[in-house]
Amino acid sequence: MKNVDGTPTCRDKEASETYKKSLESNPVLLLYRRTYQQKVMTVYRNKENKQLKKDFDKWKKETQEKIKLFKKGKLDEDTLYNWMIENK
């Protein structure tokens, strides 16, 4: 919820800052975020290409599963990073 004047609340600002810090402290999550944003823009700019959208959805699902494993401690950072580099 926004303040009366439309500015973000302190809670919103803190959540944003915490997210930025987590990305800066973890290169794997930063790589994921950057790659995700690049792929989203590619799909957005090529709306008529249905195969591109299917490939993106498949990549997104696989990557999210790997990140869940990483956060649970079942996948180490180097393995995830190398997988992300190979599957950009």
> Is pLDDT at 18 greater than 90 in this prediction?
no
Residue 80 lies in a domain: yes
* The token pair that represents 73 in the structure block: 């401690």
Q: What angle do CA 57, 27, 34 make, to 5 degrees?
A: 40
pLDDT at 3: 81
Q: Is residue 3 part of a domain?
A: no
Q: What is the pLDDT of residue 19?
A: 80
Identify whether 1 is part of a domain: no
Is 34 inside a domain boundary?
A: yes
Give the total number of structural domains in the chain.
Answer: 1
Q: Looking at the domain assignment, is residue 71 inside a domain?
A: yes
With a cut of 80, say whether residue 77 has pLDDT above it. yes
Structural domain for 65, as ranges:
10-86
- Does residue 2 form part of some domain? no
Distance CA(6)–CA(2), nearest Å, equals 5
Does 42 reside within a domain? yes
Whether the pTM exceeds 0.85: the reply is no
Residue 4 placed within a domain: no
pLDDT digits (tens, 9 = 90+) for 21-58: 887 888 898 999 999 999 999 999 999 999 999 999 99
